[in-house]
Amino acid sequence: MATKSVSEIMTRKLEKINSAATAQEVAKKMSEIKVSSLLVTDDTGKPMGIVTERNLVRKVVADKLKPSAVNVQQIMFSPPVTIDPGSSMEIAADIMNQNKVKHLLVVENEDLNKPLGIISATDFAGYLKDTAKFQQNNQGN
């Protein structure tokens, strides 16, 4: 099984939230649509950062802050760490490890204005599971 590229594994549907949102609105939206991260955009739709469940836990809950009083800009990871869609999964893993993040914004030619998708640790888990299954099925051949 050949190594897949980021574009083959990434989640194409980008869930977004405006930079004026509160941490409470972030948590509510994540819960409603069952995602672990949101792309934070300005009023023009340009990506500013990524906010994750981890951000909510470490920067709001752990500090006993009032979620309705915390702006998403205070807790998001900014600027978002990016990767090219043609990059390998190994490169994506290296970038995640180097930057200590679990989500990468997929963009072509480092152009934040045209995000293509997002790749997360969950996407990696699915990729590894599929790779292991493929290898099991082809061991006797």
Looking up residue 38, the CATH number of its domain turns out to be 3.10.580.10
Q: State residue 108's pLDDT score.
A: 92
- Give Cβ neighbours of residue 48 (< 8 Å, ≥ 6 apart): 19, 40, 41, 42, 73, 76, 78, 79, 80
Count of structural domains within the chain:
1
**In this structure, is residue 70 part of a structural domain?**
yes
> What are the backbone angles phi and psi of residue 47, rounded to the nearest 5°?
-60, 135
Comparing C-alpha atoms, which of 119, 127, 131, 129 is closest to residue 10?
119
**In this structure, is residue 1 part of a structural domain?**
no
Domain that includes residue 106, residue range? 6-137
**In this structure, is residue 127 part of a structural domain?**
yes
**In this structure, is residue 102 part of a structural domain?**
yes
Whether residue 88 is predicted with pLDDT greater than 80 in this model: the reply is: yes
Whether residue 133 is predicted with pLDDT greater than 70 in this model: the reply is: no
Q: What is the pLDDT of residues 16-62, one digit of tens each?
A: 999 999 999 999 999 999 999 999 999 999 999 999 999 999 999 99
Q: Would you tell me the crossing angle of helices 89-99 and 121-137 to the nearest 10 degrees?
A: 140
Q: What is the pTM of this model?
A: 0.84
